[in-house]
Chain A
Amino acid sequence: MDAARVAGGRGRPVAAGEAARARSQASLGASFAVRAAFIWPALLAILFVSIYPLLASLYISLSHLKLVRGGFEFRFVGLDNFRELLVGGEQGNFLGVLGPLGPVGWAVMAAGVALLGWGLVRAWRGGASVAGMVFRVLGAVLAAGTLWLAARTLLAAGGRPGTAMVTLVYVLVGITAQFLLGLGLAYLLTQGLPGQRLFRVVFLLPMMITPVGVAYMFRMLTDTGKGPLQPLWAAVGLSDFSWVNSPWGARVAVMVGDIWQWTPFMFIILLAALEAQDTDTVEAGMVDGANRWQIFRHISLPAILPVCATVVLIRLIEAFKIIDLPNILTNGGPGTATESLSLHAYFRWRTLDLGQSAAVAYSLLFIVTVAALAYVNLVRRRIAEE
């Protein structure tokens, strides 16, 4: 079956490339005034609320707060707070406890480095500019560093992941699960099953509860004394297992809560996208004898791919900020097992260690910006043809 024949030849732009935009600008008579009027209100609103906090918290991350007579003062300490995080007393909390690399760790590192190297070579051969290569190399170095950290904390004996690694785990597992679930559910609800509308409303419910409320709800559910699931675990033979005393048990509980809460986000957007598909191409596919999987794979999926990319990016940025679930379920415990970066910053902030808190927040900013840039450049650009 010729997918290209099915999907193409309709004369409408799948994504607005530069050419289409130029056409639209010319045709819409979009003078400078019009273009400004459309975009500037949004830009100004964002600037108004974001400039001062950004600069202020940057300065705070380079200083130390002290309460003095008449108020407070910020004493400039340079990169002290960051040094504390990376190599100082906070390293155990932030990066984790590094164990020695075992054979599995070495294997993973080797595979990862090989993959990154191959990617770099391919980009160079493909004619990337010098500036582009510099960025790519930097990205590869950072990725290799993260892999090394993961190998030494997650895969090594005696290693314990710090808040940065734990957050990464939350994000990767959470987004994968939420995306697959959201897409699957959205797809099923476009199949014309009876009772569809009811399911749509029901599936939206978890996202509508305030995150603090969801966290308390899950705390109630997972309580081994008062929670409803206890008889279930006992029946299955797990009555002695206390998820809260096991680091990974607690982390799984946080991830389950996170997935439960945020799958509707992916679901509602992907559903809207699936339903907005051009029905003609789908009909043409059916006429041509394609089965459901082929239609999905070759027609629907490419059509919603830009939306998928967007929704994953938005959720990626939000997921890194996870705080309510680990805070309320276990207050970051047992020990520091479930503490995320945002929670780490919150604990410092709550006791007036504003400098350290801002330093953690800026580290989060750095990590997420790199991740988002990498994601946008590698994935989204390819999909949406920016």
Chain B
Amino acid sequence: MTKRQCSRWAACVAAVSLLLAACSGGGGGDNQSQSTQGTGADQFKGVDVTVLTFTGPQIAEPLQRRAPDFNQRTGANIKVVTVPFADLYDKILTDLATGTNSYDAFVFDPQWMGDFVPPGYLEDITDRVKADQAMKWDDIAPFFRDFSASYKGRTYTIPLDGDFQMVYYRSDVLQRDGLKPPATWDDYLAIAKRYNGKDLNDDGKADYGSCIAKKRAAQSYWMSWSVAGSYLQAEGTSQGAFFDVNTMKPLVNNQAFATALDVYKQTTNYAPKDELNLDVGDTRGLFTSGRCALSADWGDIGTLAIDPKTSTVKDKVGTVIMPGSKKVLDRASGQLVDCDATRCPHAIDGVNHAPFAAFGGWSGAINAAVDQKVKDAAYAFMSFMSAPEQSNVDVTLGKTGFNPYRTSQFEDTDLWVKAGMSKEGADNYLGAIRESLQSPNMILDLRVPKSAQYQGVVLDTAVAQFLAGELTRDQAIQQIEQGWEKITDEEGRDDQKAAYTDSLNIQR
């Protein structure tokens, strides 16, 4: 035994010690120095803050652009680190859950709060926000202030961007033919049908009526809920649009959702033939090169349309609040019933609109596990980015990816005209945003633990299979319901219900 064992152990020890010796090149900075208590240019002197977001230029560019300015003002050292968008969620969670804490702050999506807040990873900034005068918290639209940034009544994020979906249309084409922008989904389908196959950008090729990002595992599951939302929710944000707040039963096995799925699939008839493989980058490109009459998207098309490098439809784009429905779901019976004053208290002209704040709006949050001084510096940076002096400029620039979220941003059209929009275009765009933001029936995106599984896996797969013909509509509905119930049961029905109802209540 001896000789063989000795040689083996010797080799083991040698290898291990070699490796340990090579460990000297280890990175991982917590080179924090004791900073003096000061204000102004020395306030955060020597404090390093690592901020993680995804590779831009959207979202990352304004952070990287303004960080040197902030560093100069306060002596902090803000470093912005980026990772590919598709992996941001996993990177953040792995870093936090394993206790590595290589990032001090994040600019991420508040929808993920459902997974980050219960384990205690994010810093509660309610008190800081209350004491912060410069950021003008009350200027932020109520929805983002009270719903997006809070969880169980406490504030965890600082909004930097407002994300919700609207419908864009070719204003020149519709005006020429005397049509009004779509108010219901039937209108949408009618307009799409009318313009499908016509040449909309004078290049001799047939263009499309509607372009919606239906690619699997991309944005389709939000688009589908934008269509379904106005059929499902009518009584205000707190009614919830995903589950029944009393039983936590998914709101899918009913006539409303079935109708919405049919509408969603029908838009494909008036779309590019490979719409099932288009994600939001493709549809935006198509719309801004004039090939679509209608599109449903976040706020980006507004600013993309005025960029001469990407757009041929400058000043030809109109924006309107997400089309709604004249019939809504009666939750007791599962049937679609006509809208009336009690059923649809927030209806506009008899149509129930439910703009969907999909994804939530990129916001800054702070890692709860880092040092106090780092938290202070990180908070100051986020507050700086969100303050009107910086934010109101950034939301007019398309490359920043920041869409309006402050009341002051859509009341002052001058900034937008300066950025290149026409006056009518700015009024129209900001008007649609205002109408959506002020709607009391806005849909809050799902923010419970494992929301990514509910939406990104179960819903998205079933919708993709339905669109591709692998499942019938009713099979898809069944699959979604079963999948969602399974996740709810696995996580604990009572826990999920508590999280869901907590996320829907306004806490002041």
Contact = CB atoms under 8 A, between A and B. Distances in A.
Q: Do chains A and B touch in the complex (CB under 8 A)?
A: yes
A347 B468 contact: no
Interface of A: 32-33, 36, 40-41, 44-45, 48, 64, 66-72, 89, 93, 160, 223-226, 240, 242-245, 247, 329-337, 347-353
B399 to A, nearest CB: 21
Contacts of B457: 347-348, 351, 353
A329 B291 CA distance: 22
B119 A72 contact: yes
B277 A334 contact: yes
Interface of B: 3-4, 7-8, 11-12, 15, 19, 86, 89-90, 93, 97, 99, 115, 118-120, 215-218, 272-274, 276-277, 279, 282, 285-286, 291, 449-450, 452-453, 456-457, 461, 464-465, 467-471, 482-483, 486, 490-491
B504 to A, nearest CB: 20
Q: Interface centre among A71, A72, A335, by most B CB within 10 Å?
A: A335
B450 A352 contact: yes
Contacts of B470: 160, 334-337
A352 B464 contact: no
A69 B96 CA distance: 12
A72 B286 CA distance: 43
Contacts of A70: 119-120
Given A44-B11, A244-B274, A352-B453, A71 B97 contact: yes
Contacts of A40: 8, 11
Contact of B115 (A33, A41, A64, A352): A352
Given A36-B11, A333-B464, A334-B468, A350 B277 contact: no
- Interface residues of chain A: helix, strand, loop or mixed (majority): mixed
Given A89-B482, A225-B286, A351-B453, 12 more contacts: A36-B7, A40-B11, A41-B15, A64-B490, A67-B118, A69-B119, A71-B119, A334-B467, A337-B470, A347-B217, A350-B86, A350-B89
Contacts of A45: 15
B216 A332 contact: yes
Given A72-B119, A330-B215, A335-B465, A240 B273 contact: yes
Contacts of A240: 273
Contact of B282 (A225, A330, A337): A225
Contacts of A243: 274
A310 B99 CA distance: 43
Pick the 5 closest A-B CB pairs, nearest first. Answer: A335-B468, A334-B468, A333-B216, A335-B470, A331-B217
A89 B483 contact: yes
Nearest to A36: B7
A241 B424 CA distance: 41
A40 to B, nearest CB: 5
Contact of A68 (B3, B19, B119, B464): B119
B464 A44 contact: no
B215 A333 contact: yes
A48 B468 contact: no
B216 A330 contact: yes
A210 to B, nearest CB: 13
A45 B456 CA distance: 38
A334 B118 contact: no
Contacts of A72: 97, 119
Nearest to A243: B274
5 contacts: A67-B118, A72-B97, A334-B464, A351-B457, A352-B452
B13 to A, nearest CB: 11
B100 to A, nearest CB: 12
A140 B7 CA distance: 43
A81 to B, nearest CB: 11
Contacts of B99: 71
B119 A32 contact: no
A336 B464 contact: yes
Given A48-B19, A64-B490, A331 B218 contact: yes
